[in-house]
């Protein structure tokens, strides 16, 4: 019975990744803020990684990144590697905090998204320069690139991830079973949480 639940969860996560990838490519191409669009798939797997163990988070991130690479990217493996590392970092740094206190890990999300944007920008630039046969890594100063590309991308992804996180928390609150009340003879009411 437990394996059926895992298969259903995996299928729902895969369907969510595919659906968000289609929405990201179709709708958000036209909805850019400061010339940046959110990476919905990254935000989705990051929110899932908050509550997952590092192995499951890494596997989910790797498969989602591989999907993005195969369907939308030029070079297979870049986003798979980036999503893998990002999801493992999110899982390792936030999972223990959010087990006890639901909102405790949120202050750590902005630096993680900023780190992802910096790594993504650098890795994609390295690959592009390598394929082109050399040349400058950035055509304008890095501080300008950081202000124009990295900060808005990190802020946009963070905002979308927070919306996904709130939706996940609300879904967990709705799904939480109510405690069963049992009556024992000659004793007080006993509440079972099992």
State the Cα–Cα distance between residues 160 and 40, nearest whole angstrom: 7
**Tell me: the pLDDT tens digits for 3-37?**
888 888 889 889 999 999 888 888 777 777 777 88
Domain boundaries, the chain: 2-168
**Tell me: the pLDDT tens digits for 58-104?**
999 999 999 999 988 888 889 999 999 999 999 888 877 766 676 67
State the Cα–Cα distance between residues 69 and 162, nearest whole angstrom: 24
**Whole-prediction pTM value?**
0.81
Nearest to 86 by CA among 43, 25, 22: 43
What is the CATH topology of the domain spanning 2-168?
A: Arp2/3 complex 21 kDa subunit ARPC3 (1.10.1760)
């Amino acid at each position: 019975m437990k394996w059926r639940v895992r298969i259903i969860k995996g299928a729902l996560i895969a369907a969510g990744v595919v659906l968000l990838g289609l929405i990201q490519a179709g709708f958000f191409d036209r909805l850019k803020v400061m010339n940046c669009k959110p990476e919905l798939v990254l935000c989705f797997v990051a929110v899932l990684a908050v509550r997952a163990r590092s192995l499951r988070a890494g596997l989910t991130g790797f498969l989602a990144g591989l999907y993005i690479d195969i369907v939308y990217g030029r070079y297979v493996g870049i986003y798979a590697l980036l999503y893998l590392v990002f999801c493992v970092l999110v899982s390792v740094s936030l999972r223990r905090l959010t087990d006890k206190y639901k909102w405790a890990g949120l202050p750590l999300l902005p630096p993680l998204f900023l780190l992802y944007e910096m790594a993504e920008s650098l890795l994609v630039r390295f690959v592009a320069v390598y394929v082109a046969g050399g040349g400058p890594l950035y055509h304008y100063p890095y501080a300008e690139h950081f202000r124009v590309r990295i900060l808005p991308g990190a802020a946009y992804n963070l905002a979308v991830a927070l919306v996904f996180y709130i939706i996940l928390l609300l879904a967990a609150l709705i799904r939480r079973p109510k405690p069963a009340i049992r009556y024992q003879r000659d004793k007080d009411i006993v509440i079972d949480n099992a």
